[in-house]
Amino acid sequence: MQILSAEVTEITACRACGAAPLVAVLSLGQLPLANALERNGDNPRQPRYPLDVLRCPACSLVQLSISITPNILFDEYVYLSSISDAFLSHARALVERVIKARSWDAGSLVVEVASNDGYLLQNYRERDIPVLGIEPARNVARIARDRGIETIDEFFGRDLAARLVAEGRRADVIHANNVLAHVPDLNGVLAGIRLLLKPNGEAMVEVPWLCDMMDRIEFDTIYHEHLFYFSLTALARAFARQGLTVVDVEHLGVHGGSLRVFARRSDATAAAKADGSARVAEMLARERAWGVDEPLRYARFQDEVCHLKTKLVEFIRDLKRQGRSIVAYGASAKGTTLLNYCGLGADEIAYVVDRSPIKQGQLTPGSRLAIYGPEKLLETRPDYVMLLVWNFADEIMVQQAEYRRRGGRFIVPLPDPRVV
């Protein structure tokens, strides 16, 4: 590890197991921070940082070559989970399962690490089950508290877990959805989860799945907030080093392909169910067959990403040569990576729309495209809308039924650019 500046630390050994050297997988060049939205009048020379992906040959963990100081990324955050109806339904369905599977009383506690605006915990609270959110983004934590959800606006790790345990607070269930990829101190967070769990408690963790990301060439999932790209193989090894055992796993369709991992304290007396253990063994075998520990599987990813970039840019520019108007949907982190890596800006994309009111009126990072509410589509009726949040394509196209009825069409950029 080498400190390059007050903002940036270069990684020279694996963040999880400490092995070195790490092996190059992919370079996307110098890109702006994914959620650093701009305003008119801001300095157009926004800072850019290398976006390079490495792999640890010892434990197979795929990770970025640098870490940006977390306070820069997360103190004030622009992503609200409740904006997506599909993600709300996804969270609600999980909570219903958990509630039915366990016994609850006044001493119960559900904790969510990176609880965002309370999108998930509100489902427990409606059933009078005690909850605690941990959300370092102060602006987002305020939204959760306004909804009546107790929320601590700090980063989670060993120290915070120890403080909660000292206060007599331990968790029956800990949720950590799409957060492990964001934390530089992965070992500290996992150690904190183990410490905070009751002996019979369970952690439920969701992460985008490395194999889906690479098979589907989802390079836009890569940005500076996402320090890690997890296989179950690497995740199970990291859990085990911190006294946690993966007892079950599910493959989900959300976010372009994700894993939901269930883990318990390794010293817990409750054994994993046989079917859960079988699913873990099956997924680990599937990853071995895929080549999770094989250098050759990673060597071709750079070429695949470059080829897709060429296809997408030519696809968009061909439509422009035909005189077609194109806008984009989703001022997302994915969109920042895609637009900046592909060099797509105002010459190709007229503007971006997004449902989040805290994004509207700002500019996309790097490409500096104006962000409006979705009603802009019916006002200007562009020929095409490129989905920068293609992972919510079905939901968005239902919401934009009137735009489609009037002849509007959508572009799904990955893994092959196509019109739907």
Q: Would you say residue 187 lies in a domain?
A: yes
The residue type found at 7 is E
Residue 2 is predicted with a pLDDT of: 55
Q: Is residue 264 domain-shared with residue 321, that is, in the same domain?
A: no
Q: Would you say residue 48 lies in a domain?
A: no
Cβ of 329: how many Cβ atoms within 10 Å? 27
Q: Residue 259's beta-bridge partner residues?
A: 207, 251
Model pLDDT for residues 367-417, shown as the tens digit of each residue: 999 999 999 999 999 999 999 999 888 889 999 999 999 999 999 999 999
Residue 247 near residue 276, CB atoms below 8 Å: yes
Residue 4 is predicted with a pLDDT of: 54
Q: Would you say residue 158 lies in a domain?
A: yes
Which two three-digit tokens encode residue 280?
């873990």
Q: Would you say residue 68 lies in a domain?
A: no
Question: What CATH number should be reported for the domain holding residue 190?
Answer: 3.40.50.150
Q: Is residue 144 domain-shared with residue 156, that is, in the same domain?
A: yes
Residue 255: which domain range? Answer: 81-297
Three-class secondary structure assignment of the chain: CEECCCCEEECCCCCCCCCCCCEEEEEEEEEECCCCCECCCCCCCCCEEEEEEEECCCCCCEEECEEECHHHHHCCCCCCHHHCHHHHHHHHHHHHHHHHHCCCCCCCCEEEECCCCCCCHHHHHCCCCCEEEECCCHHHHHHHHHCCCCEECCCCCHHHHHHHHHCCCCEEEEEEECCHHHCCCHHHHHHHHHHHEEEEEEEEEEEEEHHHHHHCCCHHHCCCCCCEEECHHHHHHHHHHCCEEEEEEEEECHHHCEEEEEEEECCCCCCCCHHHHHHHHHHHHHHHHHCCCCHHHHHCHHHHHHHHHHHHHHHHHHHHHCCCCEEEECCCHHHHHHHHHHCCCCCCCCCEECCCCCCCCCECCCCCCEEECCCHHHHHCCCEEEECCHHHHHHHHHHCHHHHHCCCEEEECCCCCEEC
Q: Would you say residue 22 lies in a domain?
A: no
Residue 225 near residue 183, CB atoms below 8 Å: no
Quote the pTM value: 0.91
Picking from 252, 267, 297, the residue at the C-terminal end of a domain is: 297
Burial label, 6 (beta-carbon count in 10 A; 0-12, 13-18, 19+): exposed
Q: Is residue 281 domain-shared with residue 356, that is, in the same domain?
A: no
Q: Would you say residue 9 lies in a domain?
A: no
Residue 218 near residue 256, CB atoms below 8 Å: yes
Q: Would you say residue 36 lies in a domain?
A: no
Q: Is residue 98 domain-shared with residue 244, that is, in the same domain?
A: yes
Residue 86 is predicted with a pLDDT of: 75
Q: Is residue 308 domain-shared with residue 397, that is, in the same domain?
A: yes
Picking from 250, 282, 297, the residue at the C-terminal end of a domain is: 297
Q: Is residue 222 domain-shared with residue 342, that is, in the same domain?
A: no
Picking from 277, 297, 317, the residue at the C-terminal end of a domain is: 297
Q: Is residue 278 domain-shared with residue 329, that is, in the same domain?
A: no
Contacts of 188 (CB under 8 A, 6+ apart): 157, 158
Which two three-digit tokens encode residue 142?
């305020």
Q: How many angstroms separate the first and last alpha carbons of the chain? A: 46
Alpha carbon distance 260, 205 (integer Å)? 6
Q: Is residue 341 domain-shared with residue 265, that is, in the same domain?
A: no
Residue 232 is predicted with a pLDDT of: 98
Question: What CATH number should be reported for the domain holding residue 310?
Answer: 3.40.50.720
Residue 46 is predicted with a pLDDT of: 82
Q: Would you say residue 39 lies in a domain?
A: no
Q: Is residue 280 domain-shared with residue 365, that is, in the same domain?
A: no
Give the length of the chain: 420
Alpha carbon distance 79, 113 (integer Å)? 15
Handedness of CA 302, 308, 310, 316 (dihedral sign): negative
How many domains, the chain? Answer: 2
The pLDDT tens digits along the chain (420 residues) read 555 566 899 999 999 999 999 999 999 999 999 999 988 766 667 899 999 999 999 999 999 999 998 777 765 555 566 666 777 888 899 999 999 999 999 999 999 999 999 999 999 999 999 999 999 988 889 999 999 999 999 999 999 999 999 999 999 999 999 999 999 999 999 999 999 999 999 999 999 999 999 999 999 999 999 999 999 999 999 999 999 999 999 999 877 799 999 999 999 755 455 567 899 999 999 999 999 999 999 999 999 999 999 999 999 999 999 999 999 999 999 999 999 999 999 999 999 999 999 899 999 999 999 999 999 999 999 999 999 999 888 889 999 999 999 999 999 999 999 998
Across the chain, which distance is largest between two alpha carbons, in Å? 67
Q: Is residue 88 domain-shared with residue 212, that is, in the same domain?
A: yes
Contacts of 275 (CB under 8 A, 6+ apart): 248
Q: Is residue 249 domain-shared with residue 160, that is, in the same domain?
A: yes
Alpha carbon distance 206, 259 (integer Å)? 6
Burial label, 71 (beta-carbon count in 10 A; 0-12, 13-18, 19+): exposed
Alpha carbon distance 342, 328 (integer Å)? 14
Q: Is residue 225 domain-shared with residue 266, that is, in the same domain?
A: yes
